[in-house]
Structure 1
């Protein structure tokens, strides 16, 4: 009638009553040990999830509770899962050293692939009652860097404005609004302002962050930032001060610090970088928000299309996900028009639209790297026009280029054509060992790997 679990809950309630009365000697230790004590005494499993764990170490407070957690997290019946938005300080300083070193295993949350980003866009559209076309969904995911929050925010913004997202122009206009005054602006402004408040070194933190976002290329030039700071704000600071500020910004994942090399680069977050440029003009330079938003919208509406064939890119996204889902497995050879089944390796990375240098025919639709084996794949979405030998020869040239640039032992070549292939092309591919698939074959592969089939209700073909 009175289990130990119930008594522990009552003990927890008494703890909250005793705290304001100063009747607990070490309240932080008592609170942190309580979940483990509950699971130990009642012989049950209690799972703890702690978000924004980097806030256990705040520079403005002169205490650290991490040491008290060492015993709490070692219980097999009370596992702790911790997450955070500032992974650098979390992994390197809190979990990577000191009392909690070796007591956690890390599992990075990677960006969504194009396929799953498209799925999220589709489901968000259903939730918000927004109209996002199947063809544009993978482009939306790519522009958002595979970040679930950004994808959902853009779809939500489209719903709020009563706008459809069917073309890149639609997407650019929605992005311009959300980056400068919408959901993304609100969330990122809050995160950036909180982190700057934590460090605020030398009164130049905002300027250094803004100027780093304006840098050309990925690598940051500290001397150029120092010069720009003098030109824009008339502040004379040393290179060492700039370095110190960038180190602290890197702890909040606002820039990347290559610690062994002693240099910095921009974060790989396209939306955050665009936001910082807008935020800097408004909050740092003090320009009119309305004027900055108008300029951003004008810039985005003038952007050239990045994807000439939206349906072709959609097929590439699905093809890449087939390979990712089938890693370390075999796929039926019939879907590639081969007698034997095809073994899929474990890929170290897979990229879409990868360019190898400058010039024509240097872009590879799909490139998967698996050590000594690489894959090169291409997609053509022509409904009533079968692919001929010329396109196959160009793909083989790209495979040779990948072999030369990346030095694998061999390159597997795969060609998808919605409209099929000419008889001459089929014979040529058989001779050259090229894997090939039609629309029906790709749908079969999607079924086999547990993925959704390609949508079939496009209004036009490309």
Structure 2
């Protein structure tokens, strides 16, 4: 285990879950920097998904568990907002991490050093390339334009001159767009950043939260176009979202029914902050989360007066405060929220401009400001149509804000209406139990790695190869009027159609026929000609007639006992017991 720090982790180990595979993968990739196998990457995901926590843990591990690659962490939220000051601090931050990594017993002191205190350390202990680049940066402090260009490329130059492998972990990279370069001759910070990204011995790993703006304005055009490989950072997989809910409930002594946790994961899109906030709310109220109605109540309370309300409200209000035309940005946002999912089009922009007595350009400036804050997103390549991001609880908050702001309603009334809404959406007990089974199957399929296993797990006498689903495992896919619970897509022609029944009652021949018909519809709609591999999971097993029909049509089939064995084979927990 690594010693504590240098950076304090936000999430305790007791509730940190799901991201270990990500950490292990990136740790190994970064160790390939000396062999020039690591290239600059962008990790993009919505806010509050845990990107910063993962970055801090990755940096701490790189700091303590290897000696070959110098790790540098920087969060752009904490950086100056003018070009020359930003660039000087960016390079100074590199120097602090450079020496802290080499003098670990002094790392806390070194990470607090100011520029003037770093210079003698460089002169006395730095290699030739580091001394040369630092002297060049220091000599340009009265020339904002040259300082910005040289300092931003400084670490890459050091890596080239001294042949020193370095990796930058840059958090909230979309804030680069907010840096004011007026004093530096209106430099484009994307262009200034480009040389640093292209260093073979100094790759840059960045995160971004404002997904559409990040993708379009940083990665999709301009100097950084095609300079990063992109990886998406989504919510927790359902299996781990369930695990998070259970871990968060332990300090309160709460019961959390696994099927209710699965529904919470679905309702929040696996957002770890939302999941923990709802569980904390239930804990504070003393409510056991063992039925869908209690989950609906806890969620409604937190969206209107709890941690979710506080976080989303602060985020939205801070964004509106930062907008140059606060009243206009607020009016645009409320108008969008009032439309309840309908897109905000060019026609709407003209109408708002007319009603507010402003130009259409000012309306679009407000829209772009909201999009940079990841509250709304652009829905077309021209940036003329916008919608609220696909965050269900943010949308609920904004609809409540419309009620309170425009119709003089109260948050208490909004809370009650959300409760009834959630209760309708959460569905029946059988629905939530079904989701739980699908969550376990989905994660199991994501763990398939190409190995062959005994056919006993799938009702056949031959070995079965479990392919790596390199493309994706898709849930609830519709093909015409038919629906497949899980579709596994490999990197080749092979693909799987999977049905899940997480219940005690065995599957009969009628349900098998229904699945076979859905598979035929899926095959007809599939772009290739290959037949899917068909797999049917039924926790309660199958009738004799159903098993016979499955064998006749070469369908793999698994009961609850065999699935638990498969789960254990891949290091996963067995399915939780069903209620009596």
Normalised by the shorter chain, which TM-score bucket? 0.7 to 0.9
Give the 3-state SS of the residue equivalent to 1:57 in structure 2.
Answer: helix
Q: Describe how 1:3-152 pairs up with structure 2 within 5 A.
A: 5=99, 13-15=114-116, 24-25=141-142, 26=144, 46-58=166-178, 62=182, 68-75=192-199, 78-98=202-222, 100-126=224-250, 129-152=253-276
* Cα deviation, residue 206, structure 1: 1.9
Output the CA distance in 1 between the equivalents of 2:181 and 2:313. Answer: 23
Quick one: distance in 1 between partners of 2:179 and 2:192?
18
CA deviations 1:159-205 (Å, max 9, x no partner) are 22222211221111111112122212222222223333444458422
- CA 1:393–1:103: 2 relative to 1, 3 Å: closer
- Counterparts of 1:313-462 in structure 2 under 5 Å? 313-326=435-448, 328-343=450-465, 344=467, 346=469, 348-356=471-479, 362-370=482-490, 372-383=493-504, 385-409=505-529, 410-456=531-577, 458-460=578-580
Q: 1:128 to 1:225 in 2, by over 3 A?
A: farther
Distance, in Å, in 2 between the alignment partners of 1:102 and 1:367 is 31
The answer to whether residue 427 in structure 2 is matched with residue 305 in structure 1 is: yes
Contact kept in structure 1, 2:340 and 2:399, CA below 8 Å: no
1:215 is the counterpart of 2:336: no
Instruction: Give deviations 1:85-127, integer Å, cap 9, x for gaps.
Output: 2233334334555554554332221232222222222233336
TM superposition shift of 1:143: 0.4
Alpha carbons of structure 1 residues 41 and 221: separation in structure 2 relative to 1, 3 Å: closer
- Offset of 1:145 from its aligned partner? 0.8
Report deviation, 1:262.
5.1
Q: 1:338 to 1:256 in 2, by over 3 A?
A: farther
Could you say which residue in structure 1 is the equivalent of 2:285? 161
Relative distance call for 1:427 and 1:355 in structure 2 (3 A) is same
The change in CA–CA distance for 1:288 and 1:424 in structure 2 (over 3 A counts) is closer
What is the CA distance between 1:72 and its match in structure 2?
A: 4.5
Distance 1:225 1:171 in 2: 38
**Alpha-carbon distance between aligned partners in 1 of 2:459 and 2:435, rounded to the nearest angstrom:** 23
CA distance in 2 between partners of 1:201 and 1:434 (Å): 61
Note if contact 2:332-2:366 (Cα within 8 Å) is conserved in structure 1: yes
Say which SS state the counterpart of residue 475 (structure 2) adopts: strand
Determine if the alignment matches structure 1 residue 251 to structure 2 residue 251. Answer: no
Contact 1:337–1:437 under 8 Å retained in 2? yes
Gaps of 5+ in 2: 1-97, 104-109, 120-138
Please, which runs of 5 or more residues in structure 1 have no aligned partner? none
Distance apart, 1:43 and its partner CA? 7.0
Q: Is the partner of 1:121 in helix, strand or coil?
A: helix
Determine the C-alpha separation between the residues in 2 that align with 1:407 and 1:94: 33
For 2:437 and 2:422, how far apart are their aligned partners in 1? 26
Q: Distance in 2 between matches of 1:24 and 1:353?
A: 58
Q: Secondary structure at the match of 2:506?
A: coil
Is the deviation greater in 111-120 or in 172-181? Answer: 111-120
Q: Which residue of 1 aligns with 2:304?
A: 180
Q: State the SS of the aligned residue for 2:250.
A: helix
Q: What SS class does the counterpart of residue 132 from structure 1 fall into?
A: coil
Q: 1:428 to 1:168 in 2, by over 3 A?
A: same
Distance 1:11 1:79, change over 3 A: farther
TM-score of the two chains, using structure 2 as the length reference? 0.66
In 2, distance between residues paired with 1:292 and 1:397? 44
Mapped contact 2:174–2:214 kept (Cα < 8 A): yes
In the alignment, is the contact (CA less than 8 A) between 1:336 and 1:436 conserved in 2? yes
TM-score (norm 1): 0.81
Residue 289 of structure 1 corresponds to 411
**SS state of the match for residue 300, structure 1?**
helix
The CA RMSD over aligned residues, in Å, is: 3.9
Aligned counterparts of 1:381 and 1:88: Cα–Cα separation in 2: 37
How many Å apart are 1:281 and its aligned residue?
A: 3.1
8 A Cα contact 1:88 1:252, kept in partner: no
SS at match of 2:379: strand
Would the alpha carbon gap of residues 170 and 16 (structure 1) be closer, same or farther in structure 2, given more than 3 Å must change?
farther
Counterpart residue number, 1:279: 401
Provide, for residues 337-384 of structure 1, a one-character-per-residue CA deviation record: whole Å limited to 9, x for no partner: 1233334353644333344566xxx4432233457544322222343x
How big is each residue's C-alpha offset from its partner over 1:236-270, in whole Å with a ceiling of 9 and x where there is no partner? 66766655543443333322332159544442222
Q: Matched residues in 2 for 1:60 and 1:285: separation?
A: 39
Q: Tell me, in whole angstroms, the C-alpha distance in 1 between the residues paired with 2:390 and 2:293.
A: 24
Aligned partner of 2:41 in structure 1 is none
Q: 1:5 to 1:428 in 2, by over 3 A?
A: closer
Contact 2:256 2:288 in 1 (8 A): yes
- 2-side partners of 1:216 and 1:10: how far apart? 48
What is the CA-CA distance between 1:313 and the residue it aligns to?
2.3
